[in-house]
Structure 1
Amino acid sequence: MELVQKYFPYLSDKQIDQLSSLKELYAYWNAYVNIISKKTFSDFYQKHVLFCLGIAKVFSFFTGSRVMDLGTGGGFPGIPLSIVFPQAEFILVDSISKKIKVVEKIIKSLHLKNAHAICIRAEKLENRFDFFVSRAVAKTSKIHNWIKNKYRYKSNSKIQNGSLYLKGGELSKELKEFPHAIQYPLYDFFQEPFFITKKVIWISNL
Structure 2
Amino acid sequence: MHLIKEFFPYLTKNQIEKFSLMKEIYNFWNNKINIISKKSLNNFYIIHVLHSLSIAKIITFVPKTIIMDLGTGGGFPGIPLSIFFEKSYFFLIDSIKKKISIVKEIINELNLKNVYAYSIRAENIEYKFDFIINRFVMKMPLLVKLVKNKFILKSKNVFKNGIFSFKGGNLKNELKNFNKKNIKVFYIYDLFPINFFLKKK
Q: Same fold (TM over 0.5)?
A: yes
SS at match of 1:48: helix
More helix per residue: 2
Whether 1:143 and 2:143 are equivalent positions in the alignment is yes
Contact in 2 for aligned 1:64/1:156 (Cα 8 Å): no
Residue matched to 2:101: 101
Q: Which portions of structure 1, spanning 4 or more consecutive aligned residues, are displaced by more than 6 angstroms? A: none
Q: Which moved more, 1:68-77 or 1:149-158?
A: 149-158
CA distance, structure 2, for counterparts of residue 12 and residue 45 of structure 1: 18
More strand per residue: 1
Q: Which moved more, 1:172-181 or 1:155-164?
A: 155-164
- The code of the aligned residue for 2:188 comes to L
CA distance, structure 2, for counterparts of residue 7 and residue 30 of structure 1: 27
* Offset from partner CA, 1:104-152 (integer Å, 9 cap, x none): 0000111111000010011110100010100111111111111100111
Shift of 1:156: 4.1
Residue matched to 1:110: 110
Residue matched to 2:125: 125
Contact in 1 for aligned 2:59/2:158 (Cα 8 Å): no
Residue in structure 2 matching 1:186, options 188, 191, 194: 188
TM-score normalized with structure 2 length = 0.96
CA distance, structure 2, for counterparts of residue 156 and residue 172 of structure 1: 30
Contact in 1 for aligned 2:68/2:92 (Cα 8 Å): yes
* Offset from partner CA, 1:85-119 (integer Å, 9 cap, x none): 01100000000000000000000111111000010
Residue matched to 2:46: 46
Shift of 1:153: 2.7
CA distance, structure 1, for counterparts of residue 11 and residue 150 of structure 2: 32
Seq. identity, %: 48
Structure 1: gaps of 5 or more residues: 200-206
Shift of 1:158: 6.1
- The code of the aligned residue for 1:14 comes to N
Total equivalences in the alignment: 199
Q: Which moved more, 1:79-88 or 1:57-66?
A: 57-66
CA distance, structure 1, for counterparts of residue 149 and residue 61 of structure 2: 20
CA distance, structure 1, for counterparts of residue 33 and residue 184 of structure 2: 35
Residue matched to 1:173: 173
Contact in 1 for aligned 2:94/2:118 (Cα 8 Å): yes
Residue matched to 1:204: none
SS at match of 2:126: coil
Residue matched to 2:16: 16
Contact in 2 for aligned 1:70/1:122 (Cα 8 Å): yes
Contact in 2 for aligned 1:95/1:120 (Cα 8 Å): yes
- The code of the aligned residue for 2:60 comes to S
Whether 1:2 and 2:2 are equivalent positions in the alignment is yes
CA distance, structure 2, for counterparts of residue 75 and residue 10 of structure 1: 23
Residue matched to 2:78: 78
SS at match of 1:134: strand
CA distance, structure 1, for counterparts of residue 156 and residue 54 of structure 2: 24
SS at match of 2:91: strand
